[in-house]
Amino acid sequence: MTSSPAPRWSSRASAAVAAGSLALVALTTVPPTAQAESPQIDYRCSATSLADFVMPVVLDTSLPQRMTTNQATQVVLTSTAYLPGSTAEQIADKGGVTLEASFGQQLTLGALAATAATSVPRTTIPAQTPSPPVRLGAASGAFPWTAPSSPGPVQVAAGALTGELRWFDDGGVKQTAKLDCSVPNGQPPLVDTVSVAASTTTTLELARTTAAYGQDVSASATVTGSGGVPSGEVSFTAGNSVTRVKVDKAGVASLVLADRPVGTSTVTATFVPSDPLLYVASTSVSKLLTVSQAETGLKVAVTGKRTGSATRIAARAAGAYGTVATGKVKFTLKRLGKAGRWARVRTLAGGSARVGFGSLTVGRYKVVVRYAGDTSHLPTRTAKGFRVKPG
């Protein structure tokens, strides 16, 4: 509950209180947000056996600034009224030394009308003349309220204030005055504004939860809202990668997760509304995506297969889904049926490596190419036979 300051007397209110007149004070029309006090409301009041007076009142509700559609809550109204000093002097003239009160504060919360009942504990009436205003503050009992089913702002406005004043003399004898107060100019002052947004649910689907490196994985998120299909974007998070995709008219956002690194990563989808005052963001249940090393394809080509020409062997390594392999390749060349064996190691550049073995003699040869693999590609080997002919 927010503590209430001393009354903010305008010059017109001060004059009205001092004279006991029915003068009214203009109010601001800017609605306060929930959990903020209302502007000072200068109620025009009449009470049995007392002269009419203007009583400043500050109201505050326990409503949060933001709620979701159809959300139920309990509302408590805090009311701080300031009985004018001139009215306190009249009560003192009637023998009153202490004062208590009960109020029924009418409110409208959107389409709902409610009355919040408050009981002000007994307080001492100041003995000095002129008397200062007497603070009458209390909190109401809780009453239920359910936010509407459609999103949008809900204004809380104050209506009439009724109740009674009870004062007691030194002997404890009680006198009672029925209280009837109306709002300034008949216009219900705004007390609070609650932003009511539609709740949303985001559901994530992956085309597969296991994939090889380079294999595309389709991800889609479906967003539903209590107020219809919400507009906005879905933020897909896969490991440290974040991609935002606009939600279509059906409430779906889709993308392809390409070239995910080897390992297990967490994928989530978070709906980000285009208008956070109308819709609430939501995050899907996370899913795990496990990416394994891709199988590697290895192609070998031999040139210079005649004596007098330099023999060269080229190898190209690529993942099963078109990814470029890195790492080292070992070329082992052997002459079939006769002694002779040569080995060379090269590092792939752009997925390819080449090695030269000079000018070979006539005969049959076999080259074995071994790829060692990398963090994303599995190792593999292949062999190729060829014949060197006379030049």
Shared domain check, 278 and 329: no
Shared domain check, 158 and 51: yes
Task: With beta carbons less than 8 A apart as the criterion, state whether 235 and 255 touch.
Answer: no
Shared domain check, 127 and 53: yes
Residue 345 CA to residue 355 CA, distance in Å, equals 8
Residue that finishes a domain, picked among 196, 228, 258: 196
Shared domain check, 224 and 178: no
Cis before 126 (ω within 30): no
Residue 220 lies in a domain: yes
Residue 252 lies in a domain: yes
Query: The CATH number of the domain where 24 resides is what?
Result: 2.60.40
Shared domain check, 212 and 92: no
Residue 269 lies in a domain: yes
Supply the pLDDT for residue 38. Answer: 82
Residue that finishes a domain, picked among 292, 316, 341: 292
Shared domain check, 338 and 223: no
Q: How many structural domains are present in the chain?
A: 3
Supply the pLDDT for residue 228. Answer: 81
Query: The CATH number of the domain where 209 resides is what?
Result: 2.60.40.10
Domain that residue 362 falls in: 296-388
Residue that finishes a domain, picked among 235, 261, 292: 292
Residue 5 lies in a domain: no
Complete DSSP assignment for 10-50: -HHHHHHHHHT---------SPPPTTSPPPPEEEEEEETTE
Using alpha carbons only, how large is the chain's radius of gyration in Å?
42
3-state DSSP assignment of residue 219: strand
Q: pTM of this prediction?
A: 0.68
Complete DSSP assignment for 256-307: EE-SPPSEEEEEEEEEEES-TTTB--EEPPPEEEEEEPBPEEEEEEEE--BT
Supply the pLDDT for residue 355. Answer: 97
Residue 4 lies in a domain: no
Task: Give the up-direction half-sphere exposure of residue 28: CA atoms within 13 A in the CB hemisphere.
Answer: 10
Query: The CATH number of the domain where 360 resides is what?
Result: 2.60.40.1940
Shared domain check, 288 and 343: no
Residue 174 CA to residue 124 CA, distance in Å, equals 14
Shared domain check, 284 and 318: no
Task: With beta carbons less than 8 A apart as the criterion, state whether 89 and 78 touch.
Answer: no
Host H or E run for residue 230: none
Two tokens, residue 243: 């991609």
Shared domain check, 144 and 28: yes
Shared domain check, 287 and 275: yes
pLDDT tens series, the chain, 391 aa: 333 343 433 333 333 333 332 222 222 233 455 556 788 999 999 999 999 999 999 999 999 999 999 999 999 999 999 999 999 999 999 999 999 999 999 999 999 999 999 999 999 999 888 999 999 999 999 999 999 988 999 999 999 999 999 999 999 999 999 999 999 888 889 999 999 999 999 999 999 999 999 999 999 999 999 878 899 999 999 999 999 999 999 999 999 998 899 999 999 999 999 999 899 999 999 999 999 999 999 999 999 999 999 999 999 999 999 999 999 999 999 999 988 899 999 999 999 999 999 999 999 999 999 999 999 999 999 999 999 999 8
Residue 29 buriedness (CB in 10 A; 0-12 / 13-18 / 19+)? exposed
Shared domain check, 231 and 317: no
Shared domain check, 217 and 89: no
Closest C-alpha to 252, from 277, 227, 269:
269
